[in-house]
Structure 1
């Protein structure tokens, strides 16, 4: 179920009943009831507690059946054994939505509860959730204070939501809507995100997600939000080794749940961040109207400091995060020189050299010149501004006037102005925040926010899997996988599969020398002694066969032509079927050093040729492929086509948990796969 209307009973019900209401401030039932009562001007509110009592003049009713009218939305905050009877009673009186705060009593019971609710034509949020808040409809069904502005938050955990809320409040921002997902037995992250896309007051969407469930649907929701002009900021977990599951291939070691989420966010136009603080810093910047440059290109930043040291440190902070701190045009430099005293720095970063202390208006004049000069996409003021009133309260009024002038200049220019100040809770920063100018206590906050926004890019369209495979492969052996991938257009050297030395020598007559002998059935052949290269004649082939059989005990071998094109590089191309996101394609620097280098790029499979080329360009060592120190470029179109072939084969064969080609030899004349194997689901 998608969109806003199907969940109207969740976000803007005609009536609410809180079951488990309490008059004791230390209990959840008190805060839920108190919050529900704050919306009495908009909807009917009923409080239920079988022991009686009341709150703020509203009596507690003994049961849902004792209410004068059927509640549309029922909040359940009773001990676990009583949840199901309360829900059944709510369904009987006609409730359309249930928010279950109570922790579940086990997966089976939670699924049974969800079946009861959805079978009755209603929806379930939770169980084990913190509730829901919609500041635009006066709906407060949660514990905690949620300031009202324009960030829509979807979270699987309560405390991160509270932290985000408090950080937003300090920055003069807040929530349009907050949805605590809990155990997602019915309403899930995708439902909540889709509702925020349709929610007019929400301008920025934030999400803390641990369990991605239907990851492809979430990716589509991220992309739809981007298309609607609503940036999505994501937090998740899973970067540590405890979250990595070992697998039988290099691909399994290189494609972790976190790297998959990072790749999906990049593809879908969402921004994956590391902390609640980074999320809030970026959201504040986005709410101020800061946006990535249209048409791509580096994001340009002009820095203004009232200290040479602070300006230089700020410039470095932006540079190391990939932002451009460009030279200023002669015209802008001349305007600054006319404004600033002799000896001031008129390049980027701009050093006021005491001009602000002599005249606070210098801050606004310099910022205006930079904002209107066209040399930068954002101007960052760093240093002491905002703190003059702390040392001399008599300067407070003038400092606030200059703050207004700064905000006016930003509004007139249509460009971003960010302020980093030493001050804390003084009047001028409050004026700036009130005018929508982001204010930060640390310069790295501003740098992280701008660098993140610069990374926001339109989603990358990928083809859907339209062709179902006509057969299921019986195993993941090289022989089987080679035939499969060849049917998708992937090139391999000439080869014959054998079981004895005599068969190997006979096969060599058709394959030709020099050749390669490989033992079958080994995940990592080189380490096990299962590969012999550049065998030049029958004697060398027989000797290698005997050594290999003794070392590996393999029953089957392949005699394969030796591929030695000049200026070649080894890639690894793999696909792993993620439980949430389905097939995830990976390309990286390959061969025996694949895991050592860990130079990879990921995307959902299948892929377009354009997307495959982007993956190749994202590798840290991509310049090797494009020609390094006079070497010719590899055939990038052939390399991309090979990546697409592996990705599509895996996407169309769901019986494969993993599929890998390693190495894929790419060279100026094309691409050829030298080894491959699969892991059956």
Structure 2
């Protein structure tokens, strides 16, 4: 249901507390005290049939006795009473409730939801501590502590953590825009909260404490939309590996749910941290310093020991210290004493006067190559720390439109308290220790990588890598029809071959030494012999693989030994035969694993890491959510330790990384096209400078079809919506917008007449900030669509001629649209062509209405709207000189 009626929850005009009392220690008494003694300015009512008054406040017996319909109900009554109470409130017109009641059974919760759904009444809880909205003076919780107003929203699944966090934050003067306990999140969940907070003007950063995620596509869509607007930082409990029961593939055993959650956070452009302290550290960094894009850092300090500590922390966090240029060192020589450190960290010596701080910082500020600057100060008796802070603030403050360069660390407590406050008041990121500052910079780098992944929008299929789905589907259907879930090794390799993944040719033979020798002679020595059995998934575990067999005697002996060993170790295994393949020897080859499995929350996932028989022991792997493209495949590889080996070292050349990335993208496309793929292993996949080749493969199927693009947590680029039509005697390409359209879209906007732009978006700029442009072309297809019309220009280059865009509300009830065409093409019918495509798409998505606000004198747009059946909306609240229009789609 998402954000519908959430304003009644977080900014209610009136509140009724059901179960309000004065009984010490009761939830109803605590909630009533928090609301009645706080700063809430709306009407407040108490409901309890056992009381007539609470102090001097009158109490009514039931909801129908209230003098008005409350906007928000806070329910602290027994479990059995809740469904009926929700039904009554919904019928009266209440649109939100906080259900603090614990102990509701499944039947009661479902009855509550059914009653609420009939009236679009939103429920927070049950079994929650409640919510606080400090800017509204609202404390609808049974927390023992109130929250201070601030710019950070905190949403938690844990009630105990809510009260602990409030206590922790109060002692540090940390304020909140909202503080929300989700409880059992039967209705309002993380997705709803992210949607609501993403557009909330009072919220600068969103902090989440999560234990589990339901509705993954909803969560990912909301998270990706929120993360485009402001930092979203997540603490996820339960880092221990879950879901690692016996599986038919290495991937199934390795892909623990926490790793998948980590991958989802990265793909959504959020930042994951491990502790509550890191949560606020990240909020401080991303709120004040996130536009800094430096990859290296320069440490400026008045204490050598502090500089060394920072350098050690940087090495541990893999943060690179800037190599100071010769010019910068010369300039520092001119303003620092001869015994300064002459490198990074820049130690300006403990006796530094204010002027030395100013001069050194100015030198680093004048050199963009010095990267970010971490200023560390230890208090001395030479000069008060506050004097240094006052002198540095004008230099340290970042100018409008320019990214910040300076992070600060004032070591100590009372002696630097005023200096630290001066920097904080100047919006300069400040940290208590060098280790905190370096950790914050490392978080920022990780956050930027995640933001880059957020902006990627690959299709489910790339035309140049499109698999031979007919061949694959025939193999899959034959296996399932015969009652098998596991494909044989030759079948699995045939699937990979149909995906254009190079495989070593493999022969299937009878389980006899003679057949093995004959096959080996045909293939040529050396060869590899493997057991073939539907009952044996990991062949190496039972001695079912023999490598580097050099002649007939080796093959004969290996075949006999293998059959005997398998019979001893797995006597019930059904042996279908052997497979024989050439022994592949590639110089400087790395053994890797590529696989996929189905996560119970996020659906299909892809695994990459170091391969071989010790894959579980080395545990060097990373997870990504499909769909993948080359940049996302490269990012997946970079998150492993083996990535360093792939880059080459000493006399070992770098591997063909493009070939590796093609394999990962091919697996992504296989999952999109063949929903019956439940698990897949390519292990080992050998890669060197010559390319990649799969030596072994394992595929498990499921008739339940858990894969397929429809089960991806992230909606792929909808390539199926692309079309070419004839328009004015030339080809016109109509398709969804993509991130790669950024340059074309900027050129399109620059060619528009300013008045056309104003009539479309109510301002006259043709040049927009890159961040704003990025949001126009980097969209989440789950909730927004923009169709562009493109054609080849006179210079042979592609041009954007027009765009129609619609953004659906999270409930998919209304979609607000806009359409604009190049100024010289007005009146050609291009706008209608784009609108018809947009309308057809929204109807297919189940959107109920298409709406827009149009300037009164935009006659061309109003005529197009009338011709297409739009109506004027008398209920819309528009500014002077505008009209609201709508088109019913259902």
Same fold (TM over 0.5): yes
Is the 1:154–1:193 contact (alpha carbons within 8 Å) kept by the matching residues of 2?
no
**What SS class does the counterpart of residue 278 from structure 2 fall into?**
helix
State the partner residue of 1:98. 97
Deviations 1:189-226 (A, max 9, x none): 11111211111221111111111223344333333233
Q: Are 2:393 and 1:407 equivalent residues in the alignment?
A: yes
**Distance in 2 (alpha carbons) for counterparts of 1:276 and 1:22:** 34
Q: Are 2:615 and 1:594 equivalent residues in the alignment?
A: yes
Q: Are 2:373 and 1:379 equivalent residues in the alignment?
A: yes
CA shift at 1:151, angstroms?
A: 1.1
**Distance in 1 (alpha carbons) for counterparts of 2:74 and 2:259:** 37
**For structure 1, which segment, 177-186 or 511-520, has the greater mean C-alpha deviation from structure 2 after superposition?**
511-520
**What SS class does the counterpart of residue 481 from structure 1 fall into?**
helix
CA shift at 1:69, angstroms?
A: 1.0
Is the 2:113–2:187 contact (alpha carbons within 8 Å) kept by the matching residues of 1?
yes
Q: Are 2:199 and 1:213 equivalent residues in the alignment?
A: no
**What SS class does the counterpart of residue 77 from structure 2 fall into?**
coil
Name which of 643, 652, 665 aligns with 2:686. Answer: 665
Question: Compared with structure 1, are the counterparts of its residues 330 and 575 closer, same or farther at alpha carbon in structure 2 (3 Å cutoff)?
Answer: same
Name which of 444, 448, 472 aligns with 1:453. Answer: 444
**What SS class does the counterpart of residue 87 from structure 2 fall into?**
helix
Is the 2:410–2:419 contact (alpha carbons within 8 Å) kept by the matching residues of 1?
no
**For structure 1, which segment, 593-602 or 506-515, has the greater mean C-alpha deviation from structure 2 after superposition?**
506-515
Q: Are 2:646 and 1:625 equivalent residues in the alignment?
A: yes
**What SS class does the counterpart of residue 348 from structure 1 fall into?**
coil
Name which of 549, 552, 555 aligns with 2:566. Answer: 552
State the partner residue of 2:547. 533
Q: Are 2:109 and 1:110 equivalent residues in the alignment?
A: yes
Is the 1:371–1:378 contact (alpha carbons within 8 Å) kept by the matching residues of 2?
no
**For structure 1, which segment, 428-437 or 572-581, has the greater mean C-alpha deviation from structure 2 after superposition?**
428-437
Is the 2:169–2:175 contact (alpha carbons within 8 Å) kept by the matching residues of 1?
yes
Is the 1:314–1:443 contact (alpha carbons within 8 Å) kept by the matching residues of 2?
yes
> How many matched pairs?
665
State the partner residue of 1:353. 349
Q: Are 2:253 and 1:253 equivalent residues in the alignment?
A: yes
State the partner residue of 1:236. 236
**What SS class does the counterpart of residue 136 from structure 1 fall into?**
helix
Question: Compared with structure 1, are the counterparts of its residues 56 and 439 closer, same or farther at alpha carbon in structure 2 (3 Å cutoff)?
Answer: farther
Q: Are 2:515 and 1:516 equivalent residues in the alignment?
A: no
Is the 1:132–1:141 contact (alpha carbons within 8 Å) kept by the matching residues of 2?
yes
**Distance in 2 (alpha carbons) for counterparts of 1:150 and 1:279:** 14
CA shift at 1:148, angstroms?
A: 1.6
Name which of 474, 480, 492 aligns with 1:481. Answer: 492
Is the 2:595–2:681 contact (alpha carbons within 8 Å) kept by the matching residues of 1?
yes
Deviations 1:483-517 (A, max 9, x none): 33332222322223233325545555654544322
Is the 1:268–1:459 contact (alpha carbons within 8 Å) kept by the matching residues of 2?
no
**Distance in 1 (alpha carbons) for counterparts of 2:136 and 2:676:** 48
**For structure 1, which segment, 16-25 or 596-605, has the greater mean C-alpha deviation from structure 2 after superposition?**
16-25
**Distance in 1 (alpha carbons) for counterparts of 2:539 and 2:594:** 17
**For structure 1, which segment, 59-68 or 102-111, has the greater mean C-alpha deviation from structure 2 after superposition?**
102-111
Deviations 1:282-317 (A, max 9, x none): 211222234340xxx623233323x22122222322
Question: Compared with structure 1, are the counterparts of its residues 361 and 34 closer, same or farther at alpha carbon in structure 2 (3 Å cutoff)?
Answer: farther
Is the 2:407–2:437 contact (alpha carbons within 8 Å) kept by the matching residues of 1?
no
**Distance in 1 (alpha carbons) for counterparts of 2:341 and 2:661:** 48
Deviations 1:493-546 (A, max 9, x none): 222323332554555565454432211232221120111223455554444333
**For structure 1, which segment, 664-673 or 165-174, has the greater mean C-alpha deviation from structure 2 after superposition?**
165-174
Name which of 469, 491, 509 aligns with 2:502. Answer: 491
**What SS class does the counterpart of residue 291 from structure 1 fall into?**
coil
Question: Compared with structure 1, are the counterparts of its residues 56 and 247 closer, same or farther at alpha carbon in structure 2 (3 Å cutoff)?
Answer: farther
**Distance in 2 (alpha carbons) for counterparts of 1:412 and 1:534:** 64
**What SS class does the counterpart of residue 109 from structure 1 fall into?**
helix
Deviations 1:457-489 (A, max 9, x none): 224225354799856552223344333333222
State the partner residue of 1:298. 295
**Distance in 2 (alpha carbons) for counterparts of 1:108 and 1:303:** 63
Aligned ranges 1:555-574 → 2 under 5 Å: 555-567=575-587, 568-574=589-595
Question: Compared with structure 1, are the counterparts of its residues 66 and 451 closer, same or farther at alpha carbon in structure 2 (3 Å cutoff)?
Answer: same
Aligned ranges 1:10-89 → 2 under 5 Å: 10-24=9-23, 26-37=25-36, 42-52=41-51, 54=53, 57-89=56-88
Deviations 1:150-201 (A, max 9, x none): 1122211133334444554555432112222111212211111121111122
**Distance in 2 (alpha carbons) for counterparts of 1:165 and 1:408:** 34
CA shift at 1:348, angstroms?
A: 3.0
Is the 1:282–1:450 contact (alpha carbons within 8 Å) kept by the matching residues of 2?
no
**Distance in 2 (alpha carbons) for counterparts of 1:354 and 1:534:** 66
State the partner residue of 1:463. 458
**What SS class does the counterpart of residue 135 from structure 2 fall into?**
coil
Name which of 638, 646, 666 aligns with 2:667. Answer: 646
Question: Compared with structure 1, are the counterparts of its residues 581 and 115 closer, same or farther at alpha carbon in structure 2 (3 Å cutoff)?
Answer: same
**Distance in 2 (alpha carbons) for counterparts of 1:508 and 1:311:** 64
Q: Are 2:217 and 1:197 equivalent residues in the alignment?
A: no
Is the 2:244–2:254 contact (alpha carbons within 8 Å) kept by the matching residues of 1?
no
**Distance in 1 (alpha carbons) for counterparts of 2:398 and 2:631:** 39
**Distance in 2 (alpha carbons) for counterparts of 1:382 and 1:649:** 52
Is the 2:125–2:183 contact (alpha carbons within 8 Å) kept by the matching residues of 1?
yes
State the partner residue of 2:123. 124
Deviations 1:14-66 (A, max 9, x none): 32222122335643323423443467765322222222255574323222221
CA shift at 1:120, angstroms?
A: 3.4
State the partner residue of 1:416. 406
**What SS class does the counterpart of residue 286 from structure 1 fall into?**
helix
Q: Normalised by the size of structure 2, how large is the TM-score?
A: 0.69
Q: Are 2:142 and 1:156 equivalent residues in the alignment?
A: no
Is the 1:164–1:277 contact (alpha carbons within 8 Å) kept by the matching residues of 2?
no
Question: Compared with structure 1, are the counterparts of its residues 659 and 220 closer, same or farther at alpha carbon in structure 2 (3 Å cutoff)?
Answer: same
**Distance in 2 (alpha carbons) for counterparts of 1:453 and 1:250:** 33
Deviations 1:518-577 (A, max 9, x none): 112322211201112234555544443332222224411342321423222221111121
CA shift at 1:70, angstroms?
A: 1.1
CA shift at 1:85, angstroms?
A: 3.0
Is the 1:210–1:236 contact (alpha carbons within 8 Å) kept by the matching residues of 2?
yes
Higher relative contact order (CA 8 A, sep 6+): 1
Question: Compared with structure 1, are the counterparts of its residues 536 and 402 closer, same or farther at alpha carbon in structure 2 (3 Å cutoff)?
Answer: closer
Deviations 1:651-675 (A, max 9, x none): 4444443211111122333322222
Q: Normalised by the size of structure 1, how large is the TM-score?
A: 0.88
Deviations 1:432-477 (A, max 9, x none): 3344334433322222112101221224225354799856552223
**What SS class does the counterpart of residue 289 from structure 2 fall into?**
coil
State the partner residue of 1:314. 310
**What SS class does the counterpart of residue 91 from structure 2 fall into?**
helix
**Distance in 2 (alpha carbons) for counterparts of 1:350 and 1:53:** 72
**Distance in 2 (alpha carbons) for counterparts of 1:11 and 1:133:** 8
